[in-house]
């Protein structure tokens, strides 16, 4: 057998990926050929007086979607009233909510995780509650959030907070409780105080697992926010998607799905990079 | 004073046993270590060797008795004692220099950064790690890591150096080289050192006195063997000395048979405060395998420091 000279795996994989995209787009194009092009302006496309639900949704082709994307890119931040805002504005609102709920969750989950992880008593005492609360879909809290805050924007932040809380809390607790005894012994023999031990031994030792929890959390939060915004309306990428559906603007629905995917991927990659920074080899 | 730099006084360790009741690891342990002395404890797994070194380090509390070090009862870990851990115990997110500097900064919190680095650098040189000081532990071979562990322990200039099977994870060649380094550094500074090991040759090369423990549970300190080899000794040389074989024969004989039977044979009459002190002699080496009656001749139960 002769050794064959081949391009690096990454290059070959990229080629296959591009081929798959082209194949998918071709199939999509052929499957939707002949269907009526979707009107650029969904508002004017609606026949006067006809309710949205009575019109038939038409599956747009890739070229229609591409055209719509160009349209959005040209005016990302326009504002024509509560049901017609630029994609950028809606996305910005969603990301701001995500950031608020997520940071709040981190500020609560990481310190509390440290306390629970460092105290076997609290760890055992709180364990049943964490396991009871963890499997509850963050959306289930929506009515309670709405009742107590009376504000849809604030409620969605509360829901994001709850959705993002558990993975961070559980990972922090486990990683703090699992810091190698030897490293703690090193700190003890060097008479390192509690505060210095927390920041120079426990935090660096637990950081990779904490970041892994934060990465899961941001994915959970991003999934939750789309659903929350579809539920409560108002603003945000979820609302944009739901409005597009109500207007039977399927091209906008497809664009919203694409944008949600891209933002989710970028957020995940940011957290992955951060995790790499604190990861250490043993 | 220098006679009893470290003094174990009636130290015992008991754990709750799985099936209820208490499991005694070791009982009524008395041992004194002189200033500048190198003492090795040797015994089988489960005799509580690691517990002894942990009690001395202050990482574990004894169930009974006290340990006095440098005139003060030990009630926790302290910077007067440094520990070389079995698997180096370096912090993997810090470089070699970072690990040593961490210890130095813990001992002298008021020192400035350059002062800390200069001091740590001295110990990097001392163990021959110059060139590797900016590497992280994961990038280094096991022996180099343990070298860094030794440098970190010595960098805080401890009154007592504690070692818990520090060379057990290393290949034989690096183990020998590290033993030579440890002996050289301890001798040069008059370091009081306390090491537990299962390696007979390691104990003979390093120790001034070797402490023999019977098998656990219910282990006792059975015997103290004075090392007859000259204080200036080279590792390749000791193999050519008849005294080495006398010493080795005596210890191996203890570990293989007597550590199990000791308690039943003489344990009852043993005064834990004055355990027999043995100094192997050349003529006994030929008879190392002979009956214990012959060996009893070499045991001059001289009073252990009282």
Q: Is residue A31 part of a domain?
A: yes
Bridge partners, B164 (sequence order): B196
Chain B residue numbers touching A278 (CB-CB < 8 A): 93
Q: Is residue A237 part of a domain?
A: yes
Q: In the prediction, which pLDDT does A50 show?
A: 46
Is there a contact between B59 and A188 if contact means CB atoms under 8 Å apart? yes
Q: B162: nearest CA in chain A?
A: A189
Q: Which residues contact B130 (CB under 8 A, 6 or more apart)?
A: B124
Is there a single domain that holds both residue A8 and residue A118? no
Contact at 8 Å (CB) between A166 and A135? no
CATH of the domain at A173: 1.10.3720.10
Is there a single domain that holds both residue A13 and residue A97? no
Q: Is residue A257 part of a domain?
A: yes
Task: Please work out, in degrees rounded to the nearest 5, the angle formed at the alpha carbon of residue A205 by the alpha carbons of A119 and B77.
Answer: 65
Is there a contact between A280 and B138 if contact means CB atoms under 8 Å apart? yes
Chain A residue numbers touching B58 (CB-CB < 8 A): 188-189
A191 and chain B in contact, CB less than 8 A: yes
CA trace torsion B275, B9, B20, B266 (10° rounding) = 10
Q: In the prediction, which pLDDT does B296 show?
A: 43
| Phi, psi (rounded to 5 degrees) for A85 | -120, 160
Q: In the prediction, which pLDDT does B290 show?
A: 46
Q: Which residues contact A265 (CB under 8 A, 6 or more apart)?
A: none
Chain B residue numbers touching A200 (CB-CB < 8 A): 102
Is there a single domain that holds both residue A28 and residue A103? no
Q: Supply the Cα-derived Rg of chain B in whole angstroms.
A: 20
Confidence bin at A105 (pLDDT 50/70/90): very high
Could you read off the pLDDT of B288-301 as tens digits, one per residue? 444 443 444 444 44
Is there a single domain that holds both residue A1 and residue A131? no
What distance lies between CA A88 and its chain's CA centroid? 16
Q: How much of chain A exceeds pLDDT 70, in percent?
A: 89
Is there a single domain that holds both residue A92 and residue A228? yes
User: What is the arithmetic mean of pLDDT over A171-177?
Assistant: 94
d(CA A92, CA A77): 9
Chain A residue numbers touching B104 (CB-CB < 8 A): none
Could you read off the pLDDT of A178-189 as tens digits, one per residue? 999 999 999 999
For B186-235, the DSSP string reads: HHHHT-EEEEEES-HHHHHHH-SEEEEEPPSSSB-EEEEEE--S-SS--H
User: What is the arithmetic mean of pLDDT over B277-285?
Assistant: 74
Is there a single domain that holds both residue A137 and residue A22? no
Name every residue in B having a CB less than 8 A away from some CB of A.
57-59, 76-79, 81-83, 85, 87, 89, 91-93, 102-103, 106-107, 136-139, 156
User: What is the arithmetic mean of pLDDT over A208-237?
Assistant: 92
Confidence bin at B239 (pLDDT 50/70/90): confident
Is there a single domain that holds both residue A105 and residue A203? yes
A181 and chain B in contact, CB less than 8 A: no
Q: Is residue A68 part of a domain?
A: no
Q: Supply the Cα-derived Rg of chain A in whole angstroms.
A: 24
Q: Is residue A153 part of a domain?
A: yes
Is there a single domain that holds both residue A106 and residue A206? yes
Chain B residue numbers touching A190 (CB-CB < 8 A): 77, 79, 102-103, 106-107, 156
Q: Is residue A69 part of a domain?
A: no
Task: Fill in the DSSP letter of residue A145.
Answer: H
Is there a contact between A282 and B57 if contact means CB atoms under 8 Å apart? no
Confidence bin at B86 (pLDDT 50/70/90): confident
Highest mean pLDDT among A6-10, A82-86, B56-60: B56-60
| Phi, psi (rounded to 5 degrees) for B39 | -115, 135
User: What is the arithmetic mean of pLDDT over B92-120?
Assistant: 95
Averaged pLDDT score across all residues of chain A: 87
Sign of CA dihedral B61, B62, B68, B72: positive
Domain count, chain A: 2
Sign of CA dihedral A95, A97, A98, A100: positive
Is there a single domain that holds both residue A15 and residue A146? no
Contact at 8 Å (CB) between A210 and A172? yes
Contact at 8 Å (CB) between B225 and B278? yes
Q: In the prediction, which pLDDT does A1 show?
A: 59
pLDDT of B196 above 70: yes
A120-125: long-range contacts at Cβ-Cβ below 8 A with a sequence spacing of 24 or more? A120/A177, A123/A173, A123/A177
Please give the residue range of the domain that contains residue A172.
87-281
Looking at the partner chain, which of B77, B89, B139 has a beta carbon nearest the beta carbon of A191? B77
Q: In the prediction, which pLDDT does B98 show?
A: 95
Q: Is residue A18 part of a domain?
A: yes
* Higher pLDDT pick, A45 / B80: B80
Looking at the partner chain, which of B85, B92, B107 has a beta carbon nearest the beta carbon of A281? B92
Q: In the prediction, which pLDDT does B273 show?
A: 82
Map tokens 């015997």 to a residue. Answer: B223
Distance from CA of A191 to the nearest CA of B (A): 6
Q: In the prediction, which pLDDT does A35 show?
A: 61
Is there a single domain that holds both residue A123 and residue A254? yes
Confidence bin at B268 (pLDDT 50/70/90): low
CA distances for A176 relative to A119, A123, A166, A198, A205, angstroms:
10, 11, 15, 10, 8
Q: In the prediction, which pLDDT does A5 show?
A: 67
Q: Is residue A266 part of a domain?
A: yes
Bridge partners, B29 (sequence order): B11
Could you read off the pLDDT of B174-193 as tens digits, one per residue? 899 999 999 999 998 899 99
pTM listed for this prediction: 0.82
B217 preceded by a cis bond (ω within 30 of 0)? yes
Is there a single domain that holds both residue A147 and residue A253? yes
Contact at 8 Å (CB) between A69 and A38? no
pLDDT of B206 above 60: yes
State both tokens at B175.
């183990």
Is there a contact between A182 and B93 if contact means CB atoms under 8 Å apart? no
User: What is the arithmetic mean of pLDDT over A199-219?
Assistant: 95
Is there a single domain that holds both residue A155 and residue A265? yes
Could you read off the pLDDT of B31-78 as tens digits, one per residue? 999 999 999 999 888 888 899 999 999 999 999 999 999 889 999 999
């Amino acid at each position: 057998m002769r050794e064959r000279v081949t391009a690096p795996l990454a290059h070959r994989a990229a080629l296959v990926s591009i081929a798959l995209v082209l194949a998918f787009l071709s199939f999509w194009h052929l499957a939707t050929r002949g269907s009526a092009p979707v009107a650029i302006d969904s508002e004017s496309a609606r026949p006067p007086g006809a309710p949205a639900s009575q019109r038939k949704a038409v599956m747009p082709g890739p070229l229609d979607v591409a055209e719509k994307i160009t349209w959005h890119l040209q005016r990302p931040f326009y504002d024509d009233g509560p049901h017609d805002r630029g994609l950028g504005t809606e996305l910005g609102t969603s990301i701001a909510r995500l950031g608020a709920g997520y940071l709040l969750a981190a500020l609560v989950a990481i310190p509390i995780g440290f306390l629970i992880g460092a105290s076997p008593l609290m760890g055992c005492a709180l364990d049943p509650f964490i396991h009871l609360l963890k499997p509850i879909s963050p959306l289930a809290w929506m009515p309670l959030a709405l009742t107590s805050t009376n504000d849809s924007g604030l409620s969605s932040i509360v829901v994001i907070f709850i959705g993002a809380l558990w993975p961070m809390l559980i990972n922090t607790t486990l990683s703090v409780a699992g810091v190698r005894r030897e490293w703690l012994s090193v700190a003890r023999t060097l008479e390192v105080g509690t505060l210095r031990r927390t920041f120079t031994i426990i935090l660096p030792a637990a950081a990779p697992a904490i970041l892994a929890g934060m990465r899961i959390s941001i994915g959970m939060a991003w999934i939750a926010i789309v659903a929350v915004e579809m539920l409560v309306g108002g603003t945000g990428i979820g609302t944009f998607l739901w409005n597009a559906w109500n207007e039977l603007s399927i091209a906008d629905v497809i664009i919203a799905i694409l944008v949600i995917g891209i933002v989710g991927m970028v957020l995940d990659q940011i957290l992955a990079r951060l995790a790499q920074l604190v990861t250490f080899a043993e | 004073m220098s006679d009893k730099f470290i003094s174990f006084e009636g130290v015992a360790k008991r754990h709750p046993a799985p099936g209820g009741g208490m499991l005694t690891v070791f009982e009524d342990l008395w041992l004194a270590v002189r200033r500048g002395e190198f003492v090795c404890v040797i015994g089988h797994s489960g005799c509580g060797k690691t517990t002894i070194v942990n009690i001395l380090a202050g990482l574990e509390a004894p169930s009974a008795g006290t340990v006095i070090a440098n005139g003060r009862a030990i009630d926790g870990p302290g910077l007067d004692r440094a520990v070389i851990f079995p698997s180096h115990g370096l912090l993997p997110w810090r470089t070699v220099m970072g690990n040593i500097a961490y210890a130095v900064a813990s001992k002298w919190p008021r020192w400035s950064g350059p002062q800390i680095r200069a001091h740590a650098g001295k110990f990097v040189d001392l163990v021959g790690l110059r060139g590797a000081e900016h590497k992280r532990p994961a990038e280094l071979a096991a022996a180099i890591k343990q070298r860094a562990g030794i440098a970190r322990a010595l960098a805080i200039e401890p009154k007592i150096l504690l070692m818990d099977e520090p060379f057990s994870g290393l290949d034989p060649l690096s183990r020998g080289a590290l033993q030579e380094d440890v002996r050289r550094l301890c001798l040069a500074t008059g370091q009081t050192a306390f090491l537990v090991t299962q390696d007979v040759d390691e104990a003979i090369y390093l120790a001034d006195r070797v402490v023999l423990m019977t098998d656990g549970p219910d282990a006792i300190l059975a015997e103290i063997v004075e090392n007859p080899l000259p204080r200036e000794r080279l590792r390749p040389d000791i193999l050519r000395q008849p005294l080495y074989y006398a010493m080795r024969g005596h210890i191996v004989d203890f570990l293989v048979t007597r550590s199990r039977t000791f308690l039943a044979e003489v344990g009852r009459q043993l005064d834990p405060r004055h355990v027999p002190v043995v100094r192997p002699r050349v003529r006994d080496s030929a008879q190392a395998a002979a009956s214990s009656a012959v060996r009893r001749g070499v045991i001059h139960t001289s009073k252990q420091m009282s």
